[in-house]
Structure 1
Amino acid sequence: MDERSILDMISNGENLYVEFKEESIRAKELAEEFVAFANSEGGIVLIGVNDNGDIKGIENSKIEETIMNICRNNCIPHIIPVFEEVKVGGKKVAAVSIPKGLNKPYYTVDHKYYIRVGTTKRIASREELLRLFEGTGNLHFDISPVEGTTIKDLNVDIIRDYFMKYNTFDLFEENSESTRRILINADILKEVETGTVCTVGGLLIFGKEPERYLPQNGVSFAHFKGNEITDELIDKKVITGRIQDIADQLMVIIRNNMRTPSIINGLRREEKEEYPIIVLREAIVNSLVHRNYSISGSKIRVFMFDDRIEFRSPGRLPNTVTIEKMKIGVSYARNPFLVKYMENMRYIDQLGRGIPMIIKNMKESGAKEPLLMEQGEEFILTIFKIKV
């Protein structure tokens, strides 16, 4: 990093990835900044620059050692920064680069978890903290308890059918206490201090009205006449209920909104789908099973345009997963409960095969390769229409 790049950063001001601090900042406060960056997307702390962007410089000849000690002793797990000292206008400025953490969540020695929001740090909310833990694989939100629920919020007939088909015993032959224990062992119910409640996954798969307690459940579908979200709206629907029912209903809605072009093959007219059905089904189920359900108030969004369909799922990819890894079949079960039950019900066959299968089928159909990307707090899968 050179003087020009430091000046450019200063001229652009503080933002999501850049923070200014004077040399006099306390070790505790600096550790909070480092933890916030590590729990978010990483960033750079310029030491020797005040909040207004004035270069004050640093005098401490052992500033690097001080920074390393703070990262090692005041941050848990310890953080490994990249330290650079640059002369700017004749004054020394320290640029401390904090990478996006691989061992989230990070916290300070006084057990506070910070995240970066805009130009500032703040203590993570309960929901944000859940997401941080979930990303490590140490917590799975789909088996967490849902307060205020009871076994009466589950459709016991559907649960019975499931166990009859996949576990070969009749739940109705069990007494109420035995049934309760079976459902607890199956992670459909969970014991808490106040009693026995449903789990998130239990409601999503077997609930009577999952959206009553989980308003984030469901899909918002919109079909636009054109290729932009500002174009005329042709159809709009909100689908709620059990996720297996949502998958079936959304498939019907998408197919009803598809035009089915015809091609002449010899003397016969043949219909050709705009999108392979197997690809649509996989994209739908993938978005329902792998979305981050700890993000409340945000439904999956499916946008249909003239040239593509976008599946927008709330939640960024977990720590260990990248888009490149997804393309070759590497996966991580954010919601292992949902994966297990949807796999048993034959909605999915094997974890990790979905994205490679989608890419392979679309290439074989002669369509443009599907696009995978993260945007804000959403993961977006875009499937492009097959050209006839």
Structure 2
Amino acid sequence: MQGRFSKEFLTTEVENQFFDRKSAKKKPEEIVKHLVGFANASGGILVVGVEDNGELTGFEYVGAHSIEEFKTAPIKLLRDTPIMFEVIEVPIENCRNQKDTVLVFDIKPSTKQVIICYDREVYLRIKDETHKLSYEQRRLLEYDKGQRFFEDEEVTDSNLQDIDKELLFSYKQKMGAKDSSDEEILIARNLLKNGHLTNAGVLLFAKYPTKYIPNARMKFLRFDGNRFQTGSNFNLIKEITIEGPLPRMIEKAKEVLKSQLRDFQFLSQETGKFEIMPEYPEFAWFEGIVNALVHRDYSVYGDYIRISMYDDRLEIFSPGKLPNIVTLENMKYTRYSRNPRIARILSEFGWVKELNEGVKRIFSEMEKQFLKFPSYSEPNENAVQLNLENNILNRSLRMKENLEQKISQEIFNSLNEDEKLVLYYASMNNHVTVKEMSQYLNRGGTYTRNLLKDLREKNLLKWCGSNAKDPKQYYYLEI
């Protein structure tokens, strides 16, 4: 038994979001429910023939179902919504010292449809358990898979009287359709059904969206210090609520942030004069706000968008987890919109960039001002948060000046552009990996690996790792 499914892996791997083990005594139809759970989540590995405590019991004993039963069960029972999976038979020596087998299911995630089990229920893998979903949870999963869009659902209490006519007229002008009636343009954009606005119609053009979607609002919070404090140390010094149709919210949010952000003054060694540098590049924070408004999960009623400003950072919090196939790792390059109609209208207004292009530019704009790269996180696994750091205490105002203090002019000038970029990245982010630099430089892995090794040999970078194949290995500035 070699490679990925070693004895150690099968017996000691902790059950988690992506791994589970089951006894061959379990009925095959019960195992199918767990396969469905993995497929509806992010995929994963399910091993049959291993007990919960890691004991290798295999299939060679009375009471165990056959390997063939398990292999054919998902094919027979999931005809309406089949799952994609690979089955691997791994030879083992069981706990009775017999030659035996364990069955490994490698389940692929279903990104475009919800998998419905043979019992008409929907299951979802959450951490180390498989959960049966309620109707409401199932509906939310359908939103996530793109089978159903919250923005397209009718708001049956709404009508054309709810429209902000001035805003809609400005949109018609932009589209060269000012002679079209309000009803015609809204129907053409699928924002009006049976005389009622859709959720997207309410969010985009209603005078008072919170009348129908209570948490379709945003709050700006300004704190004194670097963390939120309560009680006698309560440090919230400004709170502004921003409401209205999305185009007006965008304009208001921009106005509020501009009034709160600081400028830094520094003496330029090139001109000998004091020059101004903003606390954060405008594109970075503005695009972060627009993305939060465009891509948030409006079906999550219990929360709202928050912009929290601390002395050392700006946090933009948006309710709802990342949609469908988007992850923290691939969000710079993966194209997917939870609210495609909203995204289209705001793009036609001129607010929204091409999908994911804005995220990439947030990174590049922070880099240009010698700030740390932005970071994204998923608080409580049901929200997305963008953090922008202003690096107020030790901000490097000039990359070249900063590096030349540590490297001689002769050595610095001898470096090629990619080598200089690596050192800059390392100085701003503490350490670098081959994967990070490959993406940053838009170069292949082999080229990047050799580049980092060359800088190590020049005593400009130091390597840290247990061995050459250590997945956590990285480089950092030697100087």
The answer, yes or no, to whether TM exceeds 0.5 is yes
What is the CA deviation profile of residues 74-125 of structure 1, one whole-angstrom value per residue up to 9, with x for unaligned ones?
Answer: 2322230454545453376555443433443212234332213455433334
- Letter of the 2:282 partner, please give it: I
| 2:167 aligned partner, one-letter code | I
CA drift at 1:126: 4.1
Q: What is the CA distance between 1:205 and its match in structure 2?
A: 0.9
Greater displacement, 282-291 / 110-119: 110-119
Once the two structures are superposed, residues 139-177 of structure 1 have per-residue CA deviations (whole angstroms, 9 ceiling, x without a partner) of 333222224322233223432332244233245xx5xxx
1:121 matched residue in structure 2: 130
Contact 2:144 2:324 in 1 (8 A): yes
Q: Is the 8 A contact 2:223 2:236 kept in 1?
A: yes
Partner of 1:197: 196
Structure 2 SS opposite 1:235: strand
Partner of 2:371: 367
SS of residue matched to 2:137:
helix
Residues 129-168 of structure 1 correspond to what in structure 2 (within 5 A)?
129-168=138-177
2:215 is aligned with what amino acid? Answer: Q
Q: Distance in 2 between matches of 1:64 and 1:302?
A: 54
Give the superposition deviation at 1:242: 1.5
Deviation at 1:308, TM superposition (A): 2.4
Query: How much has 1:351 moved relative to structure 2?
Result: 3.2
Distance 1:285 1:72 in 2: 44
Structure with greater strand share of residues: 1
* Shift in Å, 1:325: 4.6
2:322 matched residue in structure 1:
317
Q: Secondary structure at the match of 1:108?
A: coil
Q: Please, which moves more after superposition, 355-364 or 111-120?
A: 111-120
3-state secondary structure, aligned to 1:263: strand
The DSSP-based 3-state class of the residue aligned with 1:331 is: coil
1:261 matched residue in structure 2: 264
Q: Retained in 2: the 8 A contact 1:71–1:80?
A: no
Tell me, in whole angstroms, the C-alpha distance in 1 between the residues paired with 2:360 and 2:20: 40
Q: Is the 8 A contact 2:296 2:319 kept in 1?
A: yes
2:307 corresponds to which residue? 302
Aligned-partner Cα distance in 1 for 2:190–2:201: 7
CA distance in 2, matches of 1:88, 1:225: 62
The corresponding residue for 2:33 is 32
Tell me, in whole angstroms, the C-alpha distance in 2 between the residues paired with 1:90 and 1:77: 36
Q: Distance in 1 between matches of 2:229 and 2:247?
A: 31
Residue 272 of structure 1: SS of its match in structure 2? strand
What residue is the counterpart of 1:340 in the other structure?
Answer: 344
Task: Return 197-206 or 52-61, whichever deviates more.
Answer: 52-61
Q: SS at the partner of 2:352?
A: coil
Matched residues in 1 for 2:327 and 2:155: separation? 30
Contact 1:160–1:170 (CA under 8 A) maintained in structure 2 = no
CA offsets per residue over residues 33-58 of structure 1, 9 Å max, x none? 11112112334444456678777654
Amino acid at match of 1:3: K
In structure 2, what residue type is equivalent to 1:100?
A: P
CA contact (8 A) 2:202 2:209 kept: yes
Q: Following superposition of structure 1 onto structure 2, how do residues 1-388 of structure 1 map, counting pairs within 5 Å? A: 1-9=5-13, 16-19=17-20, 21-48=22-49, 58-59=59-60, 63-75=66-78, 76-83=81-88, 85=90, 86-87=92-93, 89-90=95-96, 94-170=103-179, 174=181, 179-191=182-194, 196-229=195-228, 232-265=235-268, 268-323=273-328, 325-328=330-333, 330-375=334-379, 376-385=381-390, 387=395, 388=397
Matches of 2:87 and 2:60, distance apart in 1? 20
**Does the CA contact (< 8 Å) of 2:222 and 2:310 recur in 1?**
yes
What is the aligned residue count?
Answer: 374
Q: Structure with the greater relative contact order (CA < 8 A, sep ≥ 6): 1 or 2?
A: 1
Q: 2:166, 2:112 → 1: CA distance?
A: 42
Quote the Cα distance in structure 2 between the aligned partners of 1:154 and 1:126.
Answer: 32
8 Å Cα contact 1:149-1:198 kept in structure 2: yes
Give how far 1:288 is off.
Answer: 0.9
Give the structure-2-normalised TM-score.
Answer: 0.68
8 Å contact from structure 1 (residues 220, 237) kept in 2: yes
Deviation at 1:368, TM superposition (A): 1.4
Structure 2 unaligned spans of 5+: 398-479
* Residues 71, 81 of structure 1: 8 Å contact kept: no
Q: Identity of paired residues, percent?
A: 28
The one-letter amino acid paired with 1:68 is K
Determine helix, strand or coil for the equivalent of 2:71. Answer: helix
SS at match of 1:360: helix
Q: Once the two structures are superposed, what CA deviation does each residue of 1:324-359 show, in whole Å capped at 9, x if it has no partner?
A: 55434x422321211121122121243332012211
Question: 1:203: Cα distance to partner?
Answer: 0.7
**Long gaps (5+) in structure 1:** none
TM-score by length of structure 1 reads: 0.82
Q: Which SS does the other structure have where 2:278 is aligned?
A: coil
Distance 1:43 1:274, change over 3 A: same
Question: 2:258, 2:280 → 1: CA distance?
Answer: 9
Distance in 2 between the 1:225 and 1:48 partners?
Answer: 57
Q: Aligned in 2, Cα 1:229/1:220: closer, same or farther, shift over 3 Å? A: same
Contact 1:220–1:301 under 8 Å retained in 2: yes
Return the letter of the residue paired with 1:37: F
